[in-house]
A and B are shown apart, each in its own frame.
Chain A
């Protein structure tokens, strides 16, 4: 059965994920060792053991993301994060940096190693590299691949594959995007932050509501428009005289319609994005996906996404509309 892997930015969210049927939750520490290093989010040393106990007592696995890239000054902190998670008995470590993967393999060989999406493995040769050198058990695939590419990968993959099923859509190959540090100085790879909140400024002006990132104008909204978080790749910029969403319009990924396809090509786990979202989001999304997966296995032949699931998911989506993202590639 396909595994449902849900996000938990804090203990209440973790409880929601566990209680609503997640097979595994993924979490991070309260620092830049993980790719959702946001203020007020994540787990410290005190809470973590309780959270792990809570999940394990209810048969839910715990994965810890240590998936940013340490620079020399951070190396010991990243090592410590690996040690702490391993000592607390987590089920897997999600990592991207090969130095950290190597350290975890040698120091804590008993803890499963997953390649983070930040490792950006988009081919089976790349997967082989991580499997042969660091013994990864599973890889999370970047959201840039189409379903047919994922299927082809799955036939050749030396490891289990986990794909994103729902949440914010990264249009760049994860782990290979420096747009954020170019404008703000902080990036997912270095700091676990993309378009960080501390660089955001909102301003009501005669031209409309303006969002800025480190003073760079990202978007400008009329009164009748919904304003979205100023993630760099979702801004409205200009090419010549045209002003439009040059890279991407704010939408969310939703693959609930292709669940049978993902299962038939051998995908091992579905990952829900959104550790930065509220416990209510985790509750809602976990609940719907649990229902969908259970419905599918109960009667695979007649599986169809139900209206109420889609409505529930649309309510918590960014930009209030969902797409299949790269899986279907309407832009191809």
Chain B
């Protein structure tokens, strides 16, 4: 299985982004997704700068695959315009995160991948997109290993299992919802148009808890993420057995390299049963087991 570094979901400064990806050049990941996927007002890097960053990483680490990732909720004409630049970049594969991108890419017969916010819940949907140029899909986060097995079996029956790579969002706060509204601005009593780009103050999002202090969600502008971090570290062997091709790790502001190394080591040592070295209290894995997403299930009880 390959390791991928998903697109940065949060709003960081130009310097922070450059520094982060500089450190990723040497990290043991096979694929790096680059681009703004959440809010078109975030312009630490514009399209040309993302593209040149892609070239920089590719030059420094030619064995890494670079994919350009695109906006998840496309409403405005200006957003379509930017999207067209991404789709027409000519050098790198593009990840569609809204059906508008699927249209632009498929219509122009440009190969593409789809991120977890494209609704693909069955093999029939994947087969349609495969004919249109889909090369890889990232499963929607709310689906389970049971559903995944079924989809892969169906793809096999349709004779296209080897034509589509399967990627699983495996580590990080999960993207759960998109809205036209900005919840970070709302938390600051600001209208969306005058948000002061408050997201920059929350490099890993803004924590929402219940009135009983239970972690519920993470606000990230117009996106709502899970309150807990998804972590399928202990499920890697299982994912490999099912036929997953790529493990996606979602960027965080601190200790990202540690997480990548931990996953890499675990991948190299399968079936080593070592405990997750960075395991902390705020993780969850419920979706993988067909449970509520926020549940943390002991994998041993499930595999028994």
Are B214 and A217 in contact (CB-based, < 8 A)? yes
B291 interface residue, CB < 8 Å from A? Answer: yes
User: Which of A81-89, A96-104, A266-274, A286-294 makes up part of the contact surface?
Assistant: A96-104
Interface string of A231-242 (1 = CB under 8 A from B): 001011111001
Contacts of A247 in B (CB 8 A): 179, 183, 186, 224
User: Which of A21-29, A39-47, A171-179 makes up part of the contact surface?
Assistant: A171-179
Q: Which of B189-230 contact A (CB under 8 A)?
A: 191-193, 206-214, 216-217, 219, 224, 226
Are A97 and B211 in contact (CB-based, < 8 A)? no
Chain A: minimal CB distance from B78 (Å):
11
Chain A CB count within 10 A is highest, among B83, B141, B181, B182, for: B181
Main secondary structure of the interface of B (DSSP, over half): mixed
Are A123 and B208 in contact (CB-based, < 8 A)? no
Interface string of A169-189 (1 = CB under 8 A from B): 001110111110111110101
Are B99 and A216 in contact (CB-based, < 8 A)? no
Are A69 and B121 in contact (CB-based, < 8 A)? yes
Contact of B122 among A97, A144, A216, A236 (CB under 8 A): A97
Closest to B103 in A: A129
Contacts of A237 in B (CB 8 A): 208-211, 216-217
The docked-state distance in angstroms from the alpha carbon of A172 to that of B224 is 9
A149 interface residue, CB < 8 Å from B? Answer: yes
B241 interface residue, CB < 8 Å from A? Answer: no
Closest to A238 in B: B209
The docked-state distance in angstroms from the alpha carbon of A152 to that of B183 is 25
Interface string of B121-137 (1 = CB under 8 A from A): 11111011100100000
Contact of A122 among B74, B83, B207, B210 (CB under 8 A): B74
Contacts of A182 in B (CB 8 A): 142, 174, 176, 226, 287, 292-294
The docked-state distance in angstroms from the alpha carbon of A145 to that of B141 is 25
Contacts of B60 in A (CB 8 A): none
Contacts of A97 in B (CB 8 A): 119, 121-122, 125
A209 interface residue, CB < 8 Å from B? Answer: no
Q: A123-B80, A176-B119, A190-B121 are in contact. Are A144 and B180 (CB under 8 A)?
A: yes
A220 interface residue, CB < 8 Å from B? Answer: yes
B247 interface residue, CB < 8 Å from A? Answer: no
Contacts of A73 in B (CB 8 A): 147, 150
The docked-state distance in angstroms from the alpha carbon of A137 to that of B208 is 41
The docked-state distance in angstroms from the alpha carbon of A70 to that of B129 is 16
B232 interface residue, CB < 8 Å from A? Answer: no
Chain B: minimal CB distance from A75 (Å):
6
Are B73 and A122 in contact (CB-based, < 8 A)? yes
The docked-state distance in angstroms from the alpha carbon of A177 to that of B178 is 7
Are B179 and A144 in contact (CB-based, < 8 A)? yes
Interface string of B85-120 (1 = CB under 8 A from A): 000000000000011101110110000000001010
Are A217 and B212 in contact (CB-based, < 8 A)? yes
Are B151 and A238 in contact (CB-based, < 8 A)? no
Q: Which of A98-130 contact B (CB under 8 A)?
A: 98-100, 102-103, 119-123, 125-126, 128-130
Interface footprint category on A? 35 or more
The docked-state distance in angstroms from the alpha carbon of A176 to that of B179 is 9
Contact of B128 among A99, A217, A233 (CB under 8 A): A99
The docked-state distance in angstroms from the alpha carbon of A189 to that of B83 is 26
The docked-state distance in angstroms from the alpha carbon of A184 to that of B79 is 34
Interface string of B155-195 (1 = CB under 8 A from A): 00000000000000000001011111111011100011100
A321 interface residue, CB < 8 Å from B? Answer: no
A71 interface residue, CB < 8 Å from B? Answer: yes
Chain B: minimal CB distance from A122 (Å):
5
The docked-state distance in angstroms from the alpha carbon of A144 to that of B192 is 13
Are B208 and A171 in contact (CB-based, < 8 A)? no
The docked-state distance in angstroms from the alpha carbon of A189 to that of B120 is 10
Are A326 and B180 in contact (CB-based, < 8 A)? yes
A214 interface residue, CB < 8 Å from B? Answer: yes
A332 interface residue, CB < 8 Å from B? Answer: yes
Chain A CB count within 10 A is highest, among B72, B103, B104, B287, for: B103
Contact of B177 among A100, A172, A217, A218 (CB under 8 A): A172
Are B99 and A246 in contact (CB-based, < 8 A)? no
Closest to A121 in B: B99
Chain A: minimal CB distance from B199 (Å):
14
Contacts of A130 in B (CB 8 A): 99
Chain A: minimal CB distance from B210 (Å):
5
The docked-state distance in angstroms from the alpha carbon of A42 to that of B66 is 48
Are A123 and B121 in contact (CB-based, < 8 A)? no
The docked-state distance in angstroms from the alpha carbon of A304 to that of B187 is 36
Chain B: minimal CB distance from A79 (Å):
10
Contacts of B287 in A (CB 8 A): 181-182
Contact of B147 among A71, A123, A330 (CB under 8 A): A71
State the 3 A-B residue pairs at the shortest beta-carbon distance, nearest first.
A72-B150, A99-B124, A144-B180
Sample 9 A-B pairs with CB under 8 A, ordered by A number: A69-B119, A97-B125, A99-B122, A120-B119, A122-B98, A181-B142, A237-B208, A239-B209, A246-B186
